[in-house]
Every structure is written in C-alpha cells, then in structure tokens.
A and B are shown apart, each in its own frame.
Chain A
Amino acid sequence: MPAAKVAVVGDRSSVGGFRPLGFAVFALASPGEARDLWPRLTSGEYGVVLVTEPVYEEIDDLVAEAADTAVPAVTVIPGAGSAGGVGEKKLARAIERALGTTVPIREEEE
C-alpha cells in the first residue's frame, strides 16, 4: 500500500493548526496562488487535498478536472470565517452529473 501525504490549502489562520499534526500545509496569501500550486498537489504525492472554501471557489475548474481520477481526493473544508455550504455545492454537482438533474435530497434525520 503506497503511503501518501495529506495537503491542506488555505489562508494562514485556517490551516495553520494542521501543521503540528503532520499535514502538509500550504498557507496562501491569496486564494489565487492555489492555481500555481495545483500541479504539485495532483502529482500523486498527496492522497487527500483539503482546500478551504475561498480557495475552492478560485480553482473549481481545476478541481472538476481532477474529479475522475482516484487520487487525490479533493475535499472542501470551511475556512475560518467563511460561511460554509460550498462543500454542499460540490456534492450537488456530482449529483447533477449522475442524475442529469438536480434533485433536492431530503435532510437526513439526526
């Protein structure tokens, strides 16, 4: 089983805390920098790439390209101070792709 790293991409205050835990942290001054970083993230060195919401919104076209390959698994996490809900949007896109239409999925009871 190949070992892989976990990358966290986002602004400093959101992703800083992951560094002592052994995550590969890429702290960006602006979300646009992720575009230059992307080839490195998809090189296969990283199995999971966590991106914060502002970063995802900047590079969602690149993320969509990577959707069909097994690694890396790109997942959106909310950044500190962002509203949330972008991850849902990413999921909704997958649903639209599969079903050909968007359907409101009922909320799971908790």
Chain B
Amino acid sequence: MTSSSHTHGSQQSNRLQDGGRIDRSKTLTFTYNGKQYKGYAGDTLASALLANGVDIVGRSFKYSRPRGIVAAGAEEPNAIMQVGATEATQIPNVRATQQSLYDGLVAGTTNGWPSVETDLMEYVGKVGGKMMPPGFYYKTFMFPQSMWETYETYIRKAAGLGRAPKERDPDSYDKMNQHCDVMIVGAGPAGLAAALTAALAGARVIIADEQSEFGGSLLSSTETLDGKPASEWVTDVVKELATFDDVMMLPNSQVNGYHDHNFLTIQQHCTDQFADRAPNGQVAQRLHRVRAKWVILATGAHERPLVFGNNDVPGCMVANAVSTYINRYGVVPGNDLVLMTSNDNAYRTALDWHDAGRNVVAIVDSRKNPQGTLVDAARERGITIMVGSGVIDVQGGKRVTGVSIAPLNDAGDEVAGSIVKMKADTVASSGGWSPVIHLSCHTGARPVWNDDILGFTPGATVQKQLTAGAINGSFSTAQALLEGLSAAQDAVQLLGLTEVEVALPVTEEITESKAMALFHIPHTKPTAKAPKQFVDYQNDVTAAGIELACREGFESIEHVKRYTAMGFGTDQGKLGNINGMAIAAKTLNQTIPQTGTTIFRPNYTPVTFGAIAGRDCGALFDPERYTAMHSWHVEHGAKFEDVGLWKRPWYYPKANETMQDALNRECVATRESVGILDASTLGKIDIQGKDAREFLGRVYSNAWAKLPIGKCRYGLMCGEDGMVFDDGVTSCLGENHFLMTTTSGGAAHVLEWLEIYHQTEWPELEVYFTTVTDHWATMTISGPNSRKLLEKITDGDVSKDSMGFMDWKTMKVAGIPARVFRISFTGELSFEINVQANYGLHVWKALFEHGEEFNLTPYGTETMHILRAEKGFIIAGQDTDGSVHPFDLGLSWAVAMKKPFSFIGKRGMQREDCVRPDRKQLVGLKTIDPKVVLPEGAQGVLDPNAPIPMPMVGHVTSSYWSANLNRSIAMGFVKGGLEKMGEKVFYPLADGRVIEAEICNPVFLDPKGERQHV
C-alpha cells in the first residue's frame, strides 16, 4: 500500500464507509512508533493499524526482514507490541490483534531497531542469514562457553524480545478464586450454545473468551442464523446469559492454563484494554483461579497459512483474518487480492473482498475440481478461479507487489507447468484449520491426528473435560452449535441436574468439497535454493531449515523443534507448528502421526508478571508477623531481623552508633545491670493429657519422668536419624500439663512433628497439643539486677530461696497475671515473663518505668546471640545443620540412653557413622589474635601449607566480637574436636589471609555457671 503511506495519520484509507462492529462516531487517537493515528471504538490495535495502511509492524528475529500483520487473534506472530504511554506502564509482547484500541494508546514495535521502515539490521541480516542456519545457538554461540553472555546480549538486542519497565508499575493486579459447575472456554457458537444450555439447567457457569466481545467466529461471519445476521443471535444469547445470577461472563479473558483436577487460570484484562493506567482503585488485570466440576473446551480453530516463497512479505495474510478485518472492523487491508486455498471455506475471503468493492485478482485453488456452495458463489461474482495451482512465491519487499502462480501435480509437491505472474498487493492463504488443542494438552493428554480434518484433535484425558465445535474438527457453525449444546447436556447430566430443552438457531445450508492435504507449496527450485518459505515467522524458521534439521539427523519432532527453534516464540507455534511437522514428516518419509507433534504447555499466551504476582507485592509480598510490643520497638529505633516471618528487633542503635557500638553497649549493660529481650516469637505449645510426660520422653532425647511441677527443663529434639533439629525449655505446669517452647523459626514444624507421631504412631497416648505462641507475650529480663527490677513490680516472691534456677511461678507483674520462668539463655540471673499478649505492651512499658535506675537496656537478637555464645549455648539451625547429633554438640548430658522407650533419634545416633571418633564436633575457637573475628562459614584446616585441595576439618558456625571479654569468640565444628582441646586450627580465607585459632571449651564466660544461680 504505497499509496496509503502518504496519508498516515490523516485518514483511514483502508476503512470501509460502513459495516463492521466498530463505532464510527467514536474516534480514538493513538500513537504508533511515535506517529499519531486515528481509529474507532471497537478496533483492535491491529485493525486500526491496517485501517491506516501500516504495512510493517516489525522486523524478523534472525534475518531482520520486514513483517506485517498476518492474523487477527492470539496466533498473530508478527505484530508483537510494546505498549505503554509511560515508562512505568510498559507492557512487552502484547499482540496487536488482542489489544483493544483506546484513546491515547501508545504502542511501538518490539522488533526492529532503530526503525522498522529502514532497519540497518536488514543488511546485516541479509549477510548474517547465511551465517545463521538453524541450530546457530548450538553451532556458533555455545563455544567458547565464556563468550555466551556476550553473544546473548547481541542476540537479545538484535532480536528485540520486548523490554520490562524500569519503573514501578503503578497499577494494582489481582487474583480471584472461582468455583463453578461448568467452565466454558471460548464464547463462539459452541461455547455460547453450551453456556445457555448449562445455565438453563441451573448450573453455575463461567464462560470466558479472549476477545473483547463474545461471539467468536460469528462476529466476523457473513452467515445468518434464523435468517438474521449471526451477531444478532449472539446479542440475544449474551443478554439472556446475563439474567442468571450463577453465570459469570468474562470477556477479555484468556484461559491460559488448564491444570490438574480441573483447575484453570484465566488472565482477565480489566482496565488495560481501555486505559494506559487503571483508574484509581480499579484493578488492571485479574487472574482468576477456577476450580470447575466440568470443563467444556470450545476453543475453536486457527487457520493455517500455506508455506510458499517469500510468504513473509507484508500483504501475505491468513485468509480468515482478512475476512475478519473486513467484516468485523470494516477494514480492507489492500486493493488487489490473490487468494490461495486448499479448501472451500477460504472462498469466503474472496467473496468478502469482492463484496467490499475491491479487486479479487484470482482464487488459486490447489484442487483440480472444486465444487460447492462457496465455489459457486465465487463463480457467480465472476471471480477468476485457477484450479490445480499454487502461488509459488511473491514479489515485493515492504509490501507484496505481485505473485508467481504455477500449476501443481496431483500430489501438490511439484510444479507441473509454466509460471504466470500477476500483480497483487495482498495474498490470503489457507491450508485448512488447526483445532486449538493447547489447553487440552496442558494436563498431559497427547493429541491425535485426524486425517478427515487434516489436524490434531484432543487426546484422551483423565480430566473432567468435554469438547465442542472446531476443537473437534467440527468446523461448521451448525455442527459447533450442536456440539456445544450436547456437551453441556452431558455435563448437566453428569452433575445430576435436570436437562432443559434448548432451541438452536437455523443455519444456512452449505455444501463443500473435500479439502486437499497441502502444507508446503513446491517451487521450481529445490527448497534450499528457493526464495525463503517461512514456517514459523517469529523464529524465522523456514521449510529449508526444517529439511536441513531432518537431514542432519534430528528425527524426533521434539529435537527438530529445539534445533530450529520452531514454536519457541510468544505465539508458541500456533500458526506454524502443523506446517513444520508436515514438512518434517515428508522429509523423513513418514506420515504426520508417525512424526507426532510437540506438546503445548501453559501458558497459552504470555502472562504479565503483574497478573501472576497479584497483590503479593510491596508491603504484602510476604506477611510480617509482629509481637505485641512491636510498636515500642519501632518507636525506639530498633533495626529488625527476619526470623521466619517474624520481625524481631535485631539491635537498638542510639544516635550515631554503629551496629557494633550498639551491640557492645547492649552486651555490657546486660551483664553489668539488666537487659530486656522481646522473646514472644518463641514457639509455645500447651500439652495436656495423662500421657503428656510419656510423650515428652519419646520426642526429646533427655528424661522427663521425674520433672516436678513448678520446674523447667531444657530439651533436645532429634529426627529419627539422631540429628538435632530443635531445642527449647519445657515446663511442668501440672501433673498432666506442660508448656513446651521451641525455636522461633521451628514452631510450626515442631507442632506438626508432635501431631504426626501422635496421629500416626502413638494414637493410644492420651495427649493434646495446642499452640499458644501468639497467646503469650514473652519478655526476658536478664542481668544481675533483673531480680531487683522484677521485685519492684510483682507480688510474687522471686528471692533465691523461693524461686531457684529453672523454677517457674505464677504471679502478678505490673498488675497482670503472669507466668514467670527463671531460665537463662545468657548465663545471667534471668526471668522470662509471660503475660496474655493483649497486656504485653503494658507490662513491657511498666518494666521500663521501673527500670531506669538499673539502666534497663533493650537488646535484640544479635546481642542475644553474642551473650549465649559467650556461654557456649547453641542455636538450633545456626550451630546445627541437620547433620549433627547431641554428642557432636557436646550435649551428652541431654541424652538419656537408658530411657525405657527408644526415643526418637536414639537408634539413629547409634549408626556406625554416628559413633565414629573423627566426627565433626562443636568446639570453642579462640583466635590467636584476639582482635580478629573469624568469618562464619570459614572452613578450617589443620595444615595451612597442605596442597590444594586442603583436607577440611569443619567450619565456623558462630563468631562474634565479645565486648564483655574484649576479644573475639567463636564456635565451630572440628573433626574429633572434643579430643583436640588446646590444638591449633587454621582458617585460610578467600582474601589470602590465614586466621589461626585455638580449640577450646565453648564456654567462654563463667564456666562454673555461677552468675545464673545467684
């Protein structure tokens, strides 16, 4: 359309005066590649571009050839756009054929840098093409491996696969869970008939369609139903469906995935079909997660283009797409049409073109003697029909200028006569229809070849799935309606509902003659030397490329796919795959079913990350769990650490303090006076029942038979393999009543651990577990002045004589009933105060009101880690990694091997490997230079001069600067370490330093434990 290039932006030269479903009273302005154009409400971006005579919408992946729009739906391979008016609203890989036009829409081509009209790459491409045969990834770019990143950058830039926005998307996205009796995919004649039938029977129905309006093929058809335009029937059905409360209609909604047990995902375009940004509060896109009792796939079919020379020159289109643009959008994308077909159906395109007042140069039919209603209609209009022929190539660069037509032999695989050249600007082609079986493949069903329709249809499935219409190869409207009705009646029956009779509209009588199996039009030259014959436009895969792949030994269609990249693009081979398989089959001298097909996987079309993320982003990306005292921590400048989902205070820096300054201050204040820790996150499990004590004895490695009421005990929990996975203090509240604490991160796992043993192994034990983690706010005051502080605000007697180490009592603290446990993780005199969480902040604040005279200092998890390391206390998960048993940790005192019941872990820790003398054992590590802090994770060696790879003896698990000891302290594993006290171990670091350390007892401070017993 060279003539139209002068009128860009001023008028829609290809737009018909009337007809179509567009609203000519609503003019919309949009920008494409920096130029302004006009279209109408009801247009897609693609129809508006064609209306304006825009021929080139991109450059090809490998050869940088100009490309135009070829299709009108999800199968469009070329018109892949970057849409978005601002950086933040960029959406890559939008198919122009599926994007509704709206006022102010800004779109640009994805491919073709720096400009689609004059692409420098075209010249490179022309040269480069020869150097880039199929498999070029493997042949050229994989070696040397180190260069891959460089190549990839080049390939990506040259290919232009769209780009993600660099700014935060301001829109919100959403997910919604849906349930229904019948999920109908596709709202064409089959889907609508099914929906109406199911709805009338009282079923809960969801019907989704990717297009902006329901109706499918009927929207672009000239057929009549009940003697009226088909679209009137569509309007009536949609109106009727809207009256049912239990029918959900989702236009603009792509069913992208069909997963196990009838779970489907639908991407609904809400506001992005009419605005660049969602109006305030509205959701741009919604992902529906549907669980359906029955699914009816009424997904229709895609027309296959034929493969011929230079079939990618703009102006070459799929026949039915041309009809759609004429009938639905009032756009005739050219002046002089040549239609090439192997079937009757495509004759409609020539009729539509002719009826729109433009010139049909010729219908080129590969069959010798086509007969039927549509053929007759063409003859009546005086359209030239050239039978037994094919278009073997086209001329033109940026637009088709002419065609070469040649007679074909009976098989359609050789040119059998002399070439005729004709002028034309548009070539519509049809090789028949491919059922859209993609969703049916998602759950693993293998498609089946059907010779009658020359296409694959859905294979056997275990899903509760029914199919109707063109997906079954039933391409006529009459058959589609009937199958929709009958599929829904089947579903209704299977659901146990009562069928209601539904009257289907009367369709036109059309007779057709048999289609010819034709995929690849032969040329006078051998395929390798003929003009390029494209199979997969998006990946620049040609017929010659597939033949080459087969000749090089790739016989499995899956291998051919990966070698040539056929079907890899955003269109997933919707147009090209069957043609490619047919060409491979022929080259391999096989039938198509012998060659097989590749399997389609989710998603059917690309899904935005926004829709996948939904509202799980920003502040809602992951839950943050807060304790009852969280607001105090925030107000007091705490830095937080993530422990599981919990936000725990990490340390509380004062003005100008570094982290280490703050830790030093917190550590010293606690040991010199008193510090306070929010320990609410500890897992807490209430255990009741007469067998509670027995149960504890089975799940902990130590003894519980004699723990008296009012006492607490530390316990180690091991897996059956004998390895420690959690620890904590459990207190005896009553003879049949215990409170277990777990690590903050391990709470849920421990509760489930108790339940699985109770439910599956020992259901006879009378015991119940109830989580009370969130019920109690827990604060630990620790340090020599902790008792004095507590005494100021309690009515309980917390004196040494009345409340010894590892005792617990109830008392009031700041007027609130509390459970107070005299346990210590710092080695200091320490009280853990538990109150009902709704009073936690009250008690916490009261402690500070009374704590000023003691310089009560809040400390976080980091100081807690340092203080416990000074005492050599382990942290499960830091000093253990699932491969250490209690003996490795030097905790043999916490294992009661003589207990009558073989507790969990006992047998495991007696395995041969577990009793080796040279196991890695946890020891203390003192660096020779006290100022040097070992990095956690550093690997130790006994001989720093050993040749690489040095034999490693274990790693550092915990390492800190101890302000109280004025030196570094560390713990770590050393092979046979418990027998190596006083010996040296070396830590060679990545920066070349070698840190020397002495193996020591891990209790660095107060080895006799006097401080906690005062």
The answer to whether A binds B is: no
Chain A residues near B (Cβ < 8 Å): none
